[in-house]
Structure 1
Amino acid sequence: MAKLAASSFILSCVVLFFSSISAVADEDKKVYIVYMGSLSSRADYTPMSHHMSILQEVTGESSIEGRLVRSYTRSFNGFVARLTESERENVAKMEGVVSVFPNKMLQLQTTASWDFMGLKEGKGTKRNPSMESDTIIGVLDGGIWPESESFSDKGFSPPPKKWKGVCSGGKNFTCNKKLIGARDYKSEGTRDIDGHGTHTASTAAGNAVADTSFFGIGNGTVRGGVPAARIAAYKVCTSAGCPLDAILSGFDDAIADGVDLITISIGGQAAANFEKDSIAIGAFHAMAKGILTVNAAGNNGPKARTVSAVAPWILSVAASTTNRGFVTKVVLGNGTTLVGKSVNAFDLKGKKYPLVYGKSAQNSSSSDCQKYPEYTGLCVYSCINKTRVEGKILVCGGDGGVRLAKSAGAIAVIFKPAIPEVATIHSLPASGLQAKDFESLVSYIESTDSPQATVLKTETIFNQTSPVIASFSSRGPNPIAPDIVKPDITAPGVEILAAYSPDAEHDTRQVKYSVLSGTSMACPHIAGVAAYIKTFYPKWSPSMIQSAIMTTAWLVNATGTGIASTEFAYGAGHVNPIAALNPGLVYELDKADHIAFLCGMNYTSDILKIISGESVTCSQKNETLPRNLNYPSMSAKLSGSDKNYTVTFNRTLTNVGTPSSTYKSTVVAGHGSKLTVEVMPSVLTFKTVNEKQSFRVTVTGSDLDPELPSSANLIWSDGTHNVRSPIVIYAVTDDSSSSHHCHHK
C-alpha cells in the first residue's frame, strides 16, 4: 500500500499539550504569554479581535500569521505570541496588559496527543459517560487487532441497542463489548496484519492504557479521544490496496449497522470527480443519514492541488506536529554531534564504527554504477558491494539504502531522508540528517583517513514549535470544487504512538504499540473530536459538528512558501476540542443544500443520481453558485486577468449558544494583497436557540498574485464565543486531475 508506514516509509509517534507554543525558528523572536487579566464585560468587546489588533499595531504588520499562537477568551483574557524583545517591551506598555512573560515547557508524562489538544483525561475535562458509551465509531481501514488492550471490554456494558451489525471477523477473531463489530470484504478475515487499522482505531477511541511505549520511547498512557465509545471495524484494504467496491461496501454496511461516525484514512493520489470517488459517494449517503465522514487529506504535499478528500460533505484532515518529538544523535569520531530524526531503540552503547559512503562501497562491476555514478551516494542496491559495507555504518544520500543496509551487513545507517522532519522506525540503528548536517558528515568522511561514528538511542524533546503543518500533508486548492477550501482542519499526525498489530513489523521485533506519521494519523484525531461533540449533542447533524470544529480552530503555521503556507495547507486551523464543544453559532447544511451545490457545478441529472442515489432534476436556471454553499469557510477562484474584482458570499448562521445574544462581526487581515470585506448586516441578534440569521459578505480587491492567495478572517463574537471563518480569494491555473487510486494515507 502506498502510505506513510512500515520500514523506511513508516513516518512515525507522540504528543502533548500545553506547550504547542515553544521556541520559534526565527532566532530574534521568542514565545511570550501576554496576560490581560479578567475578560471585559463590555458587550462590544471581542477578545480575539483585540489580540490581533494589538499584534498588528506592535509589529506594524497587517497580517499576524505566524505571530499569534493562541488566544485565551473564556475564563480570562490574554494571548500567546511570537515577539522580538523590542516588541515585547512595547506590548508590556500597552493599556490593558497586565504582564508579559516567556513561555516555559511543562513536560506532561503521557503519549497522548489528546493532551496536546487540551482534551485531558481526568483533569477537569467535561465528559458525558453514558452517551460516550452509546457512541459507535465505524473504522474503514485494513482491519484491527482484537486482542489489543486498547480494545479490551473490561468495565463495558453490553453494546447499544441501536447496534445492528455483526462480528464477522473470520477465523480466531472475537469481538467484545468494546470492539462490537467486524466485517471483511476480501475473504481474509478482519484481523489486521499491517498495523494501520489498529493504529487509527485506537487513536479515535482506544482505551486508556498506561505504561505504553515503543521499546521505552515515548513512555506514558495511550488513549483515544473517546475511550468509552464502541468500535466497529470494516476491513476494506489488503496489502494490495483498497478496492473501490470494498470501500462502498464498507460504507453501505456501516450506515446500516448503526454507526454514529465514520473515520476513513484512505484516498487517492489525486482528487477524483465526485461521481468516480467511492469515498465521496459513500460519505454522501452517510451524510444523508446523519453520519459524519472524516477523511485523511493525503500525503502528497507540499505541492499545491494534491488534496484528495475534497467533497464538502466530508471533513478533510491535514496533519501537523505537536510540541513533542523524537531525535537521534550521531556522534562522529572527532567528537562532533549531529542531531537527526528516527525512532531508534537499538543501543550501540556509544561504540564507534567505521563509516562507508559513496565510492567506498561501490560495486565496480555494476553497469548501473558506471552509467549513473550518482547512484553510489544514494546506495542503490545494484551499486553496493556488500563486503565493503559489512560491520560498518552505511551512509546514504537518500532513503533507498535504508532497506538494504541490514541485508548488506551494516551495523547502522545514516541517511538523508525525503521528509527530514519526521522520525521513522527502521530495522537497525538509523538516523536521518537534515541536508546541512548530512553535508557536514560527508565532509568529515572525505577529509578523514579513518572516519568513524556511532548512532545513539532516540531522545524525546519537548521544545519544538507547534503546531506546524507537516511537509507531506496534501495541500489545496480544491481541484474538483475550486470554491470549497480543502483540507478543512488540521490535527496531530506526526510521530503518533498508538496500538499496532504484532504481525506487522518488518524485522524480528514484534510490538503492541508503534509510532506512525501521516494524515492517516490526523484523521482519527478529528473523528475522536467529532464523536466527543456528539456525546453532548447527539441530535446535531454532520454539518453542525463540522462547523463547530472548523469555526473554533486555532491559527497555525505552515511550512513552505506560496500556497503551501496558507489556508490551503490547514483550512480553518488546528482543532480545539474544548472550544468546539461550545461554538455559539454553526453553519448548517443538509442533503438538499449539497444537491443544490452540485447543480451549481453543472452536474447532469445522470451524474447526480450516481452521487446521491436518487433522481434529481436541477432547475434550468440554477441560481446556486458553489461559493454560496453554507460552508464554514469562504473561497472564490477568479481568473488571473481579473485586475479588480468583487465577490459575494451568502451565509446563514444558526444559534446553538445563549438564547438571547448579539454577535458583532470583525474582519482581520490574512495573507496576500489586502482584501476589503463588507459584512451586511454587521450585527446579528438572536432571541432563541436554533434561530437562523443570514448575512452577505462582499469582498473587493485587486492585483491577485497567482502564487499567493489573498485571505482574511471573519469573526462573529458575542464576547464569549468567537466564530471564525477564513475567506480566501485566489487565481491559480488548474492542473488536470488524475484517476482515483485507493491507498492508505
Structure 2
Amino acid sequence: MGFNKKMKTSIIESDIIIGMLDTGVWPESESFNDTGFGPIPKKWKGTCQKSANFTCNNKIIGARYYLTDGDNGPEDFISPRDAEGHGTHTTSTAAGGLVSQASLFGIAKGTVRGGVPSARIAVYKICWSYGCSDEGILAAFDDAIADGVDIISLSVGSFIPFDYFEDSIAIGAFHAMKKGILTSNSAGNGGPTPGSVVNVSPWSLTVAASTIDRKFVTKVKLGNGQIYEGATINTFDLKGKMYPFIYGGDAPNLTLGVASEFSRYCYPGALNATLVKGKIVFCEYFTDYEGVLEAGALGAVNPTATIFKTSQDNNQFAPFVVSFSSRGPNPITADILKPDLTAPGVDILAAWSEASTVTEDDTRRTRYNIISGTSMSCPHATGAAAYVKSFHPTWSPAAIRSALMTTAIPMTSNNNIEGEHAYGAGHINPLQATDPGLVYDAGEIDYVKFLCGQGYTIANIQLISGNSSSCSEETDGTVWDLNYPSFALSSTPGKSITRVFHRTVTNVGSAVSNYRAVVNAPPGLIIQVQPSVLSFEYVGQQQSFVVTVGAELGNSMISGSLIWDDGVHQVKSPIVAYTSIML
C-alpha cells in the first residue's frame, strides 16, 4: 500500500474515532496501548459499558456489546471482550499502534501497526459464537452514530446477498451516511463464484481482498529425499523427524458410517482417530485442517514423511485478488460496479485474543496471528478512509470513497480474469487518496432518487431511510445517473447496448485548473465524453459532464476507463460493459 510509518500524518488524526462492529476486542493487547495519547476527543458522546473484565483507556475510548438470546456460547465473555480473535485482528489492522517484534510463533517477525495508529477506537461487539443478529447490528449502528464515530468498519456479511431493505448492514450504513459517516464493508469470501459479492449498497465502500508482497510457504520432505513446497502456514516444528503417513481414504471413521470416498477429503469427523494418530495424513482435497487435527494426526499434505515450519518469501506477482474474495457482478443492482476496490487481505499479521487458540484442538495462545479474508482487507480500507478523513474532516462519505477509488492503483485481468468484477477500481493507495483532485460526491437525496428509479416501493425506501422519503418526478433517477466513481452497463449475451451517464465532479485540488478527458476504449467499446475539458476557478466548484457508452457484447465483459487529467492529478474511473445472466 506504500503506507509506511514515515508517511505524512494529520495533526487531527488522534481526533478521528473508528467504530469497529465485530466480535469485540482484547483490550490488553499492546496494539491498544494508550501511552502518549491525550484526553478523549470532546466530540465523543459514547460510553465504556460496565463489565467485570473490561476496561477502556485513551486508545479504546468506548465499548459496548449487544447480546441476543441464543447467540452466545459457553466460551463467550458477556462483555465487549473478544473471545474469538476476529475483532481484535480487524481492530488492530485499522488503528493499532506500533508494536515491534510481533510474530506468530516467530513467523513474519517485525513491526506491526494499523492504518491510523493515532486514531481512537470505539468497540461494538455484535458477533458471538453462534452468530451476529440483525437487532444487534442495527443497535450498534445507532449507538455508533450517536456516539460520534467518524468511520464505521464492518467485516461481517451474509452468505448470500440481501436486497437493501432486507439488509441490516445496508440499512445501518444508510443511516450512518446521512450523518456523514462512511461504512467500510468486506465483500465476502464466496469467490471466485460470479455474483457472490455481498454488502453492495451504493452508499457503502465494498472491499475485495488481494495478496501482499510476501508469501508464506511450507516445505514437505518425502521419504526418498524429494522436497516440495506449498502455500500454507505451519507453526509446528517437527525438527526434521520422519513420520509415517496414511491416505485419508484408508482411514474412514467406520463408527460413524463414513466411507473411504468421503474420508479421503479429511472432513471433520471423517477420519479414524486410532489409525491416523501420530501420522501425517494425505488428503485429496479439503478446505481446512479441522478433520485432520481432531483425529490426532500431525498434519496434512500430499504423501510425505516430515513437514517443516513455514518460511517467508517474496511474492513477485502481488497484488492480485485472491481466489476466495467474492466477485461481481453486483447481484442486487447490476449496473453499480462492486466491489469498489481491493486491499490487502491475505496472510495478515495482526493482534489476537489471548482467549483463543491458533487452531482447533491446540492449547497454544498467541498475541498475534496470521489470517486471511475480506475481513482483513476491510479494515485496511477503513484505516485508509480514516486517514483521508483526518486531512479532510468535512468530506462526505461519498467524497472519501471517491478519493479512494479514483486514486487506486490500476490492475489488469492478466492475474484476475474477472477484471473489475474482482478488483473494482483497483488496489487501494491511501497516500494518493488525500489529494485526488476531483471527487464524485453524493448524499441522501441522490440515493433516494436512485432507489425510486430502481422501482423500490415507498414503504421499502422508508425502511432503508428511516424517514418519510417519497418518490416524485424530481426524485426519480436512473441507476446510470447516480454520481458514482465507476461506470457499469450490462445486457444479455450477443446484444449491443448504449447507456448515457450523467456525472458531476467537485474540485478539491488546485483552485484554477483544467482537466482533459482521457478515454481508454478497447475494441467493442465506444466512449464519448461531453464536454471533454472541465475548467475550474475555485476549490469546491462543480462541473457536470455526460458519458455515452456503446458496447458490442459477446459472452464476456469489456473494460475501459475515463481519466480526468490536469497534469498533476489523474482521476480514474473504470468503465465496464458485461453480459449478465441475472438480468
Whether these two folds match at TM > 0.5 is: yes
2:559 pairs with 1:711:
yes
Native 8 Å contact 2:164 2:464 kept in 1: yes
Q: Choose which of 335, 355, 365 in structure 2 pairs with 1:503.
A: 355
Given the superposition, is the C-alpha separation of residues 715 and 384 from structure 1 closer, same or farther in structure 2, using an over 3 Å criterion?
A: same
- Structure 2: distance between partners of 1:508 and 1:561: 39
Q: Secondary structure at the match of 1:466?
A: coil
TM superposition shift of 1:603: 1.3
Q: Secondary structure at the match of 2:89?
A: helix
- Counterpart of 1:4? none
TM superposition shift of 1:674: 2.4
- Counterpart of 1:530? 385
Map of 1:204-603 to 2, 5 A cutoff?
Answer: 204-362=94-252, 367-369=257-259, 373-380=260-267, 384-399=271-286, 402-414=289-301, 438=302, 441=303, 453-505=305-357, 506=360, 507-557=362-412, 565-603=418-456
TM superposition shift of 1:382: 5.9
Native 8 Å contact 2:511 2:538 kept in 1: yes
- Counterpart of 2:74? none
Q: Which amino acid aligns with 1:384?
A: L
RMSD: 1.8
Write the deviation string for residues 538-564 of structure 1: whole angstroms up to 9, x where unpaired: 1111111100000011122458875xx
Q: Structure 1: 5+ residue runs without aligned partners?
A: 1-116, 415-437, 442-451, 736-745
- Structure 1: distance between partners of 2:312 and 2:55: 37
Q: Secondary structure at the match of 2:12?
A: helix
- Using the TM superposition, name which of 336-345 and 628-637 deviates more: 336-345
Q: Which amino acid aligns with 1:132?
A: E
* Higher RCO structure, 1 or 2 (CA under 8 Å, sep 6+): 1
2:509 pairs with 1:657:
yes
TM superposition shift of 1:363: 5.5
- Structure 2: distance between partners of 1:532 and 1:398: 42
Map of 1:673-692 to 2, 5 A cutoff?
Answer: 674-692=524-542
Q: Choose which of 127, 139, 142 in structure 1 pairs with 2:9.
A: 127
TM superposition shift of 1:405: 2.9
- Structure 2: distance between partners of 1:379 and 1:201: 33
TM superposition shift of 1:591: 0.9
- Structure 1: distance between partners of 2:492 and 2:297: 56
2:84 pairs with 1:183:
no
Write the deviation string for residues 465-512 of structure 1: whole angstroms up to 9, x where unpaired: 111101010111111111110110100000000001011114100111
- Structure 2: distance between partners of 1:381 and 1:300: 21
Write the deviation string for residues 82-126 of structure 1: whole angstroms up to 9, x where unpaired: xxxxxxxxxxxxxxxxxxxxxxxxxxxxxxxxxxx111103xx11
TM superposition shift of 1:701: 2.8
Write the deviation string for residues 152-206 of structure 1: whole angstroms up to 9, x where unpaired: 1111111000000000052221000000000011182110001000110000000
Q: Secondary structure at the match of 2:244?
A: strand
- Counterpart of 1:432? none
2:519 pairs with 1:667:
yes
- Using the TM superposition, name which of 390-399 and 187-196 deviates more: 390-399
Given the superposition, is the C-alpha separation of residues 558 and 247 from structure 1 closer, same or farther in structure 2, using an over 3 Å criterion?
A: farther
Given the superposition, is the C-alpha separation of residues 191 and 623 from structure 1 closer, same or farther in structure 2, using an over 3 Å criterion?
A: closer
Given the superposition, is the C-alpha separation of residues 378 and 615 from structure 1 closer, same or farther in structure 2, using an over 3 Å criterion?
A: same
Native 8 Å contact 1:275 1:611 kept in 2: yes
- Structure 1: distance between partners of 2:269 and 2:369: 32
TM superposition shift of 1:367: 4.3
Give me the TM-score of the superposition, normalised by structure 1: 0.74
TM superposition shift of 1:570: 0.8
- Using the TM superposition, name which of 630-639 and 655-664 deviates more: 630-639
Given the superposition, is the C-alpha separation of residues 231 and 400 from structure 1 closer, same or farther in structure 2, using an over 3 Å criterion?
A: closer
Q: Which amino acid aligns with 2:422?
A: A
TM superposition shift of 1:391: 2.6
TM superposition shift of 1:711: 1.8
- Structure 1: distance between partners of 2:567 and 2:91: 38
2:43 pairs with 1:172:
no
Q: Secondary structure at the match of 1:607?
A: helix
Given the superposition, is the C-alpha separation of residues 364 and 475 from structure 1 closer, same or farther in structure 2, using an over 3 Å criterion?
A: closer
TM superposition shift of 1:227: 0.3
- Structure 1: distance between partners of 2:270 and 2:56: 50
Q: Which amino acid aligns with 1:279?
A: I
Given the superposition, is the C-alpha separation of residues 407 and 666 from structure 1 closer, same or farther in structure 2, using an over 3 Å criterion?
A: closer
Native 8 Å contact 1:467 1:557 kept in 2: no
Given the superposition, is the C-alpha separation of residues 172 and 654 from structure 1 closer, same or farther in structure 2, using an over 3 Å criterion?
A: same
Q: Secondary structure at the match of 1:374?
A: helix
Given the superposition, is the C-alpha separation of residues 344 and 169 from structure 1 closer, same or farther in structure 2, using an over 3 Å criterion?
A: farther
Q: Which amino acid aligns with 1:395?
A: F
Q: Secondary structure at the match of 1:632?
A: coil
- Structure 1: distance between partners of 2:37 and 2:163: 42
TM superposition shift of 1:462: 1.1
TM superposition shift of 1:395: 1.3
TM superposition shift of 1:352: 1.2
Q: Secondary structure at the match of 2:264?
A: helix
TM superposition shift of 1:638: 2.3
2:472 pairs with 1:619:
yes
Q: Secondary structure at the match of 1:353?
A: coil
Native 8 Å contact 1:309 1:486 kept in 2: no
- Counterpart of 2:87? 197
Native 8 Å contact 2:268 2:290 kept in 1: no
Native 8 Å contact 2:268 2:294 kept in 1: no
2:458 pairs with 1:609:
no
Given the superposition, is the C-alpha separation of residues 651 and 152 from structure 1 closer, same or farther in structure 2, using an over 3 Å criterion?
A: same
Q: What percent of counterpart residues are identical? A: 51
TM superposition shift of 1:406: 3.5
Greater Cα radius of gyration, structure 1 or 2: 1
TM superposition shift of 1:334: 1.1
- Structure 1: distance between partners of 2:268 and 2:40: 52
- Counterpart of 1:93? none
Q: Which amino acid aligns with 1:126?
A: K
Give me the TM-score of the superposition, normalised by structure 2: 0.94
Native 8 Å contact 2:249 2:262 kept in 1: no
Write the deviation string for residues 317-358 of structure 1: whole angstroms up to 9, x where unpaired: 000001101000001111111111222121111111111114
- Structure 2: distance between partners of 1:359 and 1:516: 29
Q: Structure 2: 5+ residue runs without aligned partners?
A: 69-77
Native 8 Å contact 2:406 2:436 kept in 1: yes
Q: Secondary structure at the match of 2:138?
A: helix
TM superposition shift of 1:386: 3.1
Native 8 Å contact 1:468 1:559 kept in 2: no
TM superposition shift of 1:729: 1.5
- Structure 1: distance between partners of 2:55 and 2:475: 52
- Structure 1: distance between partners of 2:541 and 2:253: 75
Given the superposition, is the C-alpha separation of residues 380 and 539 from structure 1 closer, same or farther in structure 2, using an over 3 Å criterion?
A: closer
Q: Choose which of 708, 731, 741 in structure 1 pairs with 2:579.
A: 731
Q: Which amino acid aligns with 1:408?
A: A
Native 8 Å contact 2:192 2:327 kept in 1: yes
- Structure 2: distance between partners of 1:688 and 1:163: 34
Moved over 6 A (4+): none
Write the deviation string for residues 658-679 of structure 1: whole angstroms up to 9, x where unpaired: 0111111111146xx5201111
- Structure 2: distance between partners of 1:323 and 1:225: 17
- Structure 2: distance between partners of 1:275 and 1:404: 39
Native 8 Å contact 2:326 2:422 kept in 1: yes
- The size of the alignment, in residue pairs, is 571
